[in-house]
Structure 1
Amino acid sequence: MTLRELPRASALVVIDMQQGFTDPSWGEPADLDGCRAHVNDLVAAFTNAGLPIVIVRHDSDKPSSPLRRDAPGNAFFDDIAAVDPAVLITKSVNSAFLGDPDLDDWLRSRGIDTLVVCGIQTNMCVETTARMGGNLGYRVVVPLDATTTFPLAGAGRAADAETLITATAINLAGGGFAEVVTTAEVAGAL
């Protein structure tokens, strides 16, 4: 599917672009540098189009997390820290819709009905936010190359980062939650 046009009622939602994700405890990310470059391209495109940018920060409640509020890893990467967002959402769970201030209220009060969701982690906070956005009736677009994640194990199984990114693409597009595209397609549709 090719993304043809994004309406003026669109917002960019940048999720958890935080320094704590460089901590080795996460494992090897799938092209973190590429993700960061694509997120920066999206920020520039939305800024140039005069469309709002929502920045989301994960404030972990887990004492050992590099993303906890009092840890250096809670800080944004410098390029994202330099962005002047329309709103900053803080959360301690996967979905940006369960943060503070209330993202759904903020979007609806501004007539925004289309979300471009990017950031870290593809299969966690990005996917959860995209699914909830779809369930709440938003048009959700996920430029997959502007996301990244890490290997994960559980239930006696394991998957590398690329496999998890592919699974998210299938979940979102196949499940009807979001359009899965590229950063170039989003920039071309603005």
Structure 2
Amino acid sequence: MPAALIVIDVQQSFLHRPYWSDEDLPAFRAALIRLVAGCRARAVPVVHVLHEDGEWPFDAASGLVRPLDWLPAEADATFIKQVHNALTGSGLADWLATRGVDTLLIAGIRTEQCCETTARVAADLGYRVDFVSEATLTFAMQDAHGHSVSAAAIKAHTELVLAGRFATIRDVDAALAALDAREGAACP
């Protein structure tokens, strides 16, 4: 059964948020570029999903609802979402169904928000989900008590709550190896 890589919210809008940090960007960028290239080499469709919600810098009029300059541009399809998950109201679910896709590789920006939410919804809809945490990016946050929570801690928490319930947590190499194993298992 086919798989698709869903690249969520890797867009210019985030560069204009006060919490934006380049600290983890080099590792994220390298991982995502490797994942996209690996999917392309395996003829796995690459889908870009961008967030647009009417609030600057996520409104269409800002001109910032477009992929980051370094993201490989050759998407098989691009969808716009207005909610936290990529499947509701964007047209993506219909696109996947038309192609018989049963496995989603999830990557993108805000590990704990749109990426995690998409993984949960996808699992509930019956997709097999590989959450490629290495190819997600998030930022430090403060909790309601004023305590700082690092991006690494947020990613670790997302991995903890998704693993075995909603997704298989994989790094890029493991995600690509899983695609190879599925392809090999599909051959007679």
TM above 0.5, one fold? yes
Shift in CA distance, 161/71, structure 1 to aligned 2, threshold 3 Å: same
Question: More deviation in 136-145 or 33-42?
Answer: 33-42
Q: C-alpha deviations, 1:87-137, integer Å up to 9, x for none?
A: 211012110012422x22211121110000000010000000000001111
Stretches of structure 2 lacking an aligned partner (at least 5 in a row) = 181-188
Q: C-alpha deviations, 1:139-163, integer Å up to 9, x for none?
A: 0001111001012234335422111
1:177 aligned to 166, 171, 176, which one? Answer: 166
User: What TM-score do you get using the length of structure 1 for normalisation?
Assistant: 0.85
Stretches of structure 1 lacking an aligned partner (at least 5 in a row) = 1-7
1:144 aligned to 133, 151, 160, which one? Answer: 133
**What is the aligned partner in structure 1 of residue 7 from structure 2?**
14
Matched length = 178
User: What TM-score do you get using the length of structure 2 for normalisation?
Assistant: 0.86
Separation in structure 2 between the aligned mates of residue 27 and residue 155 of structure 1, nearest angstrom:
20
Residue 153 of structure 1 pairs with residue 139 of structure 2:
no
1:87 aligned to 77, 83, 91, which one? Answer: 77
Assess if the C-alpha contact under 8 Å between 2:45 and 2:76 holds in 1. Answer: yes
- RMSD over equivalenced CA pairs, Å: 1.8
Alignment of 1:21-60 (within 5 A): 21-23=14-16, 25-28=18-21, 31-60=24-53
SS state at 1:40 partner: helix
Separation in structure 2 between the aligned mates of residue 154 and residue 89 of structure 1, nearest angstrom:
32
Shift in CA distance, 29/150, structure 1 to aligned 2, threshold 3 Å: farther
Quick one: percent identity of the two aligned structures?
34
Separation in structure 2 between the aligned mates of residue 37 and residue 140 of structure 1, nearest angstrom:
22
1:168 aligned to 133, 137, 158, which one? Answer: 158
SS state at 1:83 partner: coil
Greater RCO, 1 or 2 (C-alpha within 8 Å, sep 6+): 1
Q: C-alpha deviations, 1:169-190, integer Å up to 9, x for none?
A: 011105x100001011122333
**What is the aligned partner in structure 2 of residue 74 from structure 1?**
65
Matched AA of 2:3: S
**What is the aligned partner in structure 1 of residue 107 from structure 2?**
118
Separation in structure 2 between the aligned mates of residue 12 and residue 141 of structure 1, nearest angstrom:
9
Task: Using the TM superposition, give the Cα deviation of residue 24 of structure 1 relative to its aligned residue in structure 2, in angstroms.
Answer: 5.2
SS state at 1:144 partner: strand
Separation in structure 2 between the aligned mates of residue 154 and residue 181 of structure 1, nearest angstrom:
27
